[in-house]
Structure 1
Amino acid sequence: MTASLAGSGDRVIRHLAYDGEAGQWEMLRTHPHQALKSYVIDYSGYRETQGSEIWRRELPCSFVPLIINFGPAFHFRDDPRSPATQTSFTAGVYTRAVIVGSRGAAFCVQVNFTPFGAWRFFRLSQSELESRTVSLDDLLGAQGRSLIAELHDAPGWPERFALLDDFIARRILAAREPDANVREVWRALTASHGTASIVALARTSGISRRHLAKLFRAEIGATPKTMARILRFEHARDLAHKVPRLGWADLAYAAGYADQAHLAREFKDLSGLTPQELLRRDRAETGILEQ
């Protein structure tokens, strides 16, 4: 892999700005280089220009975020497996919400990896990240510190995104490929939004469910059953926002839940909120704000 990926100068960068109850901030979002599309979902640059202390409820997700922070540390509430504060860090697969706070002066970039992208980038079993945050310094050491310094000193966001392309490509494209069985089962689970039969997928792959679960925890970060729950939850939230006229029973059916009660239990278990509370508080511009 060369030191620089060509063709990143034409990337589209979407700029968002907010001025309201959560203070003032700007966010820039863009896609990675084409060579990384299977491994990185997107990049976000974020900066709060002013504001008071802000706490947000972060929900379980099927991607792996990496936060590279140039500002004050983030604070975590009710997360017993993680430090109370983190500066630059990644978060593994969670099956419950985590409350994250900033002091109103955040300045960071976020990389959202696919599970296989995270596995190849960090080069360790993703089970080691399960239900906790781990600092970038612990994961990458001097390489991570050098990356933070280069990104901080870059003249602007386009240059930061190009630096990320090059750094991530050097690590990912030199790493070994994921297990073919895990790749196929993950493809089927994501295509079905978590509703595909895991028993049938294991049978088709020719390996036992137990062995498949072990491989999944290493390369994806959780078992197929856990990831299916998260994928179904993400799909239900997305449907609820895109098709608000759906009643709860219809939403449960469309998202693959057994019934409305099943949907309600899963929403409460994964988010800590009822479906009604979650959809009322879930805002694209602010996330889920906490008191």
Structure 2
Amino acid sequence: MASKTRQDMALLAARAGRYREYAPPPALRRHFSRLWSHRLGDGPPATVAVVPDGYCDLLWIDGRLAIAGPDRTAAFPLIRPDSTVIGARFAPGAAASWLKTPLSALVGLSVPLADIGRKHTREYEARLRDCSDPAAARTLFGRLLEEATRDEEEPPRDAAVIFAAADSGHPLSGLFGRLGMSERQLRRRCHHHFGYGAKTLERIRRFQRFLDLCRRQGAMPLARLALEAGFADQAHMTREVGEFSTLTPTVILDQLGMRKRPG
């Protein structure tokens, strides 16, 4: 686990600068669950923690297109002050198909899209560099995604079913009969679609339920927050939250701005 200094200084990515998510247009919804942009201010650089969420993202950052693979632990990217990152979050199962690469090969990595071999990448990068400002780049980024996905096949249905079960807190072992898979087959599919096995995906989505509860129910006592999120108890929550974020539950509650402080 990170040192206390890092815990005290790190900011969840959504709390650093100006982070915005928005729904993709209908033409992209088969392949991307969200589009987003993140603008850092022009002040001193902060230590930004990008925490695991079970997804893979396509980024426009520092003049190039890149793939941010799925994470097992918090990443601390170096982002220049006064810069804007534009991103698209792949829908469950879409990334491995779109990239022709199993996500197990991309865990914890940021890889230039050109290195993966997607056609037209250099052309798209040149067009994005010609944009006059971040707003124009966001608009063009969306249009380029529509061009790139026009002939892509539908993402495999089983990935969406697996992700939805993990997201809801239902044990993935209950999917064996529904999907006609053995435990070994399910594990293989999880590694292909998400980068890691079913148990890790379940833990990461439980951590994300904790973050969502912090945003909506910040005044809830920690012990109850742990149970609502699906942890065995508060100690279990503290261990898991620390592993995935390097932060304590209390620090996250404070950062997300919902904890009631004395007046």
TM range (shorter): 0.7 to 0.9
Cα deviation 1:89-123 (Å, max 9, x = unaligned): 22212111111222324243222222323233322
Question: Residue in 2 aligned with 1:58?
Answer: 50
How far off its partner does 1:196 sit? 0.8
Q: Measure, in 2, the Cα distance between the counterparts of 1:276 and 1:198.
A: 30
**How many residue pairs align between the two structures?**
243
Contact 2:215–2:257 (CA<8 Å) still a contact in 1? no
Per the alignment, residue 68 of structure 2 pairs with 91
Specify whether residues 145 and 47 from structure 1 end up closer, same or farther in structure 2 by C-alpha distance, changes over 3 A only.
farther
- DSSP-derived class of the 1:188 partner: helix
Distance 1:218 1:275, change over 3 A: same
The structure whose residues are more often strand, as a share, is 1
TM-score normalised to the size of structure 2?
Answer: 0.80
Partner of 2:113: 136
How far off its partner does 1:160 sit? 3.4
Q: 1:124 aligns with which of 101, 106, 109?
A: 101
The answer to whether the 8 Å contact 2:70/2:195 transfers is yes
| Structure showing the higher helix proportion among its residues | 2
**Which residue in the other structure is 1:181 paired with?**
158
| CA RMSD in angstroms, aligned pairs only | 2.7
Cα deviation, 1:40-75, whole Å, max 9, x if unaligned, reads 23333444563333331111113222221246xxxx
Distance in 1 (CA, whole Å) between partners of 2:156 and 2:41 is 44
- Give the conservation status (yes or no) of the 8 Å contact 2:35–2:88: yes
Deviations 1:119-159 (A, max 9, x none): 33322211111122212221246622221221232355565
* Residue 43 (1) aligns with residue 43 (2): no
Q: Distance in 2 between matches of 1:203 and 1:276?
A: 40
CA distance in 2, matches of 1:130, 1:209: 22
Cα offsets for 1:150-175 (capped at 9, x unmatched): 12323555653443334323433423
Q: CA 1:127–1:202 in structure 2 vs 1: closer, same or farther (change >3 Å)? A: same
Is 2:232 the counterpart of 1:258?
A: yes
Q: 1:273 to 1:256 in 2, by over 3 A?
A: same
Q: Which amino acid in 1 is paired with 2:142?
A: D
Determine whether 1:241 maps to 2:215. yes
What secondary structure, in the 3-state scheme, does the structure 2 residue paired with 1:217 have? helix
Q: Given residue 249 of structure 1, which amino acid in structure 2 is its aligned partner? A: A
| Unmatched runs of 5 consecutive residues or more in structure 2 | 1-15, 259-263
Identity of aligned residues (%): 25
**Is 1:229 aligned to 2:221, yes or no?**
no
2:181 equivalent to 1:204: no
The worse-fitting range, judged by mean Cα deviation, of 116-125 and 44-53 is 44-53
Would you say the 8 A contact 2:215–2:256 is kept in 1? no
CA distance in 2, matches of 1:30, 1:266: 29
Aligned mates of 2:24, 2:132 — CA distance in 1: 19
Aligned pairs for 1:146-225 within 5 A: 146-155=123-132, 159-190=136-167, 192=168, 195-225=169-199
For structure 1, which runs of at least 5 residues remain unmatched after alignment?
1-23, 72-86, 285-291
Q: 1:283: how far off?
A: 6.3
Aligned mates of 1:99, 1:282 — CA distance in 2:
18
- Partner Cα distance (1:213, 1:102) in 2: 34
Residues 141 and 36 of structure 1: CA distance in aligned 2, closer, same or farther (over 3 Å): closer
The aligned residue for residue 4 of structure 1 is none
